[in-house]
Structure 1
Amino acid sequence: MLPRKVLCTLYLGCTLLLLTGCWDRVEINQRGFVVGVAIDKPEGDNGKNQYKGTYQMIVPGGLKQSSGSTTGQGNSMNPHAGQAYFNISTTENSMPAVAARIAGRTSRSPYFEHLRIIIISSDVAKNKANLPNVLDFFLRNSEMRRGVQILIADGKASDVLGIYPNNESTPIDYISSIAKNNQKTNFMLPESRIGDVHEYLIKNESFVLQTIKKEDGGVTLNGSALFDGTTKQLLGFLTGEETQGLNFITQRVKGGIIESHIDDQVVGFKVERSNRKFYVQQTSPGHMKFTIKIIVEGTLDKSITNIDPSEGKTVEALEKSLQDKLASTTNKTIKKLQHSYKKDALGLGPYLFQNHYKMWKPIAENWDNGENLFSQAEVDVQTKVIIRRIGNIFESTKEQ
C-alpha cells in the first residue's frame, strides 16, 4: 500500500488536471471595444423586418491624440491616424447575427464590456415587439452591464453616431455628457438605463424613454418617447414642455427652470426642490378622481425691471404666476396622455396597485386597455411654488 503522503500528492496532481484556467481569455489588444450601438430599419426592407446595426468602436491609439480632432464619419475600416473611433454598419435578421457579421469584418472582435449607449430609431421602435427583440441580445450578453443607456432616436439612429463630438473624443462621450444634464434642465428625462427598461417590459406598464434628435450639427435630448406597455411599441413623442410637466408629476425633477410672465416680462425660477403627492377617490366602480399636489421650492433666477422682488405682495404675485404656469404645463401633459394616446405614463396605475390594491384589482385589465378607464379618470392638479431666495441683486438695469 502506498504511503499516505504519496496518495495525497497523486490526488492533488489529478485535481490540477481538472482546472481549466482562463479558458476564455482574450488579450486586450485583440478586443474591439464597442462604446455605442445604433439600430435602424434598413432602406428597402420590404417587410423583412431586418436590422441595420451600427457599432461605434474605439481606436485606443487615437485616444492619445487631441480629443475630438476628427469626426469619425462613415463606416471606414481604416480610420485616419489619430482618430479615436470609427463606425461600422451591417444589416442582418437579428442582433446576434449583426454582431457575428461585424466580427467577420473587423480585425478585433466586438467586445461589449464598455458599451455605454444603445440608440434605437423610431422606425424600429414603432413596430410591435421590436424593442424587446432588440434588447434581448444585450440583456442576455454576459459582457453587458445593466447601466447601459437606452435612447430613442427621432429619425435615423446611425446619423446620431456620425455627429461631430464637440469638446469630447467621441460622439458617445458627447451624448453621454448631455444626457446627465437633467440637473440643469427639466425638459428631458433622466437617463433611461437598460435595467430599468427591462423592468418596464416585464411589468406591462406604459412608459417613456429618453429621446435624441440630430439637430444643427449636434444633438438635442429634449422631449421623451412614449411606449405602449402591452404591445411594447412606440406610440409617439412628447415635446420638451410636455416632458417637463411629466417630470413634475412623476417626481423626476432634479433642477432646471420654470418660466412665466408678469407685467409682460419673463420670470425665471430656478427649481431646487420638488415634491409630489397623489390622492384618489373612487366616485363609482369604474371612475376615479385623482388629486395631484405639487410643491416646488427654489430661487428667482431673473430680475424684473421696475419690480422690487423683496416686497411681500410682489413675491406673492410672482409665486402665483409660476403656479399657474406649472399647472398649465402639467395639465397639457395630462390631456395629451389621456386623450391623444390614452396611455398612463403618469404612474397613476402603479400608485393604485401599490397603495389601493382592492380598488385597483377590478379595473386593472381595463385601465389603459379595453374600456380605458384611465382616459375617463378625473385628474386635478394643485400647484404651490415657494420662492426661498430672490438672488443677489434686486435689479440689473436702472432707469435714467
Structure 2
Amino acid sequence: MPLEMETPLPYQRDQRCPYDPSPALRHAQREEPVTRYRMADGRDIWVVTRYDDVRDVLTDDRLSSALTPLTLMVPGVDDTGLEISPGSFVNMDPPHHTRLRRTVAGGFTARRMRELTPRLEQIAETCLDDLERKGPGTDFLTAFANPFPLLAICELLGLTDDQRADYLALTERAPGLAATEEEALSLVADAHRFMSDVVTAQRAHPGDGMIGMLARDHGDDLTDAEIVGIANMHLTAGYDTVAATLGLGLLALLDHPDQFALLRDDPAVLDTAVDELMRYLSVISATGGRTATEDIELRGVTIKKGEYVVPALAAANRDPDHFPDPDRLDLTRPQSQQVGFGHGLHRCPGAAMTLIEMKVGFTALLRRFPTIRLAVPREEIAFRGYNMVHGALAIPVAW
C-alpha cells in the first residue's frame, strides 16, 4: 500500500490555477533552481526547474534512466521484483535504447503521418457524432477527449476493432497513483497478456500498423516480449497524455475567449496554437527521473553519484528567462522548443503523432461546435490529484 500521498514538488500545481506550476516551484526556479527535495518515503531527489538546466539534464549521458527506480515518484511502493519491461526503451540507456528506438522510427515518418491523417479525421468526426448524440451536459472527456486519442493510437498500432474494444475495457480499470500495489500490478499483467495475444496474431499475419511493421521488418531482431513492451509503451504514453491535453486545452481556451475565437476563426494559427498549448499546459509535469553515474556539477550544486535528478518540465516551460510573459496563453507565440515532449535522445518518439491529433481534434471540434461552452459553473470543474499526467476529472459541455 502506498504511503499517504503528498504530491512531490516536481508535480505540484498552483491551487488557484490548474495550468500553472505551484508557488513552491516558482520560488525554487527564482531562488534555488537546483533544489533538494525529500519524498514522503524519505528518499531525496534533486529538482531542476530552469529551462536551460532541464535541457542540459535531459542530454547528459552521465544521468541514467535505466538505473532509476521505476517507482521513484510513487512513494511507498516496493521496487523489489520490478524490472524494466523488454521494449520499454523510455526506461533504458544506449545502446539498448538506441537499438529499440530505431525500430519504431518508420512508424512516425512524415509520410506515415500524412497517410494516417484522413483516418484520424474520420475517427474525430465519429467521436463528435457521439458527443452530439448524447447532447448538452455530456462530459467532453468521456465523449471525445478520451476515445479519440485511444482510437488514434490503436489505428497507429494496427489493432482490430475487437482488440480496441478489449483495450478500452482495460483503460477503464486504470488506477491512479493512490491505487494499491495489487491493483496496479494486476492491470499491468492483464495489459501484458492482452498485447502478447496481439503480437502472436501479428507474427502470423502482419498488418499495416506499427506492430505488423515491427513483426515484418524487425521480426528477426526483436523478441515477442520486446514488441509487446514497445506496443504497450506507445499505448499508455500516446493515450492519456493526448486525452488530458485535449481536455485541459479546451478548458484553457474557454478560460481565454479571445484565444478560443482566434483558433476557431483563423486556421493559420493552428501550428503555433498546438505548440503553445503543449507549453502552457505541460500535462506531463516532470520526467520519471535520472540517476547520476558520477558526481556532476549543476549551477554550483554537486549532485553525487547515485543521487536522483528530476527535471520539472512544467516549470521549465514557464521559465521567464526563455519565454517572454510565460504565464500568458498566446496561440500566436513563435515556436520555441518547449520541453513538453522532453528533449534529446528521450524526446517523445510520438511527438509528431500527438501534434497531428491535437490539430485534427481541435479543428474538428471548433468547426462542429463553434459555440461550445461549459455546462456547469467553472468552479465545479475538478482536477486529478497526484498523477503522472495532469488533467481534469470531467468537463461537462453544452453548445
| TM-score bracket, shorter-length normalisation | under 0.3
Q: TM-score, normalised by structure 1?
A: 0.26
Q: TM-score, normalised by structure 2?
A: 0.26
Which has the larger strand fraction?
1
Which has the larger helix fraction?
2
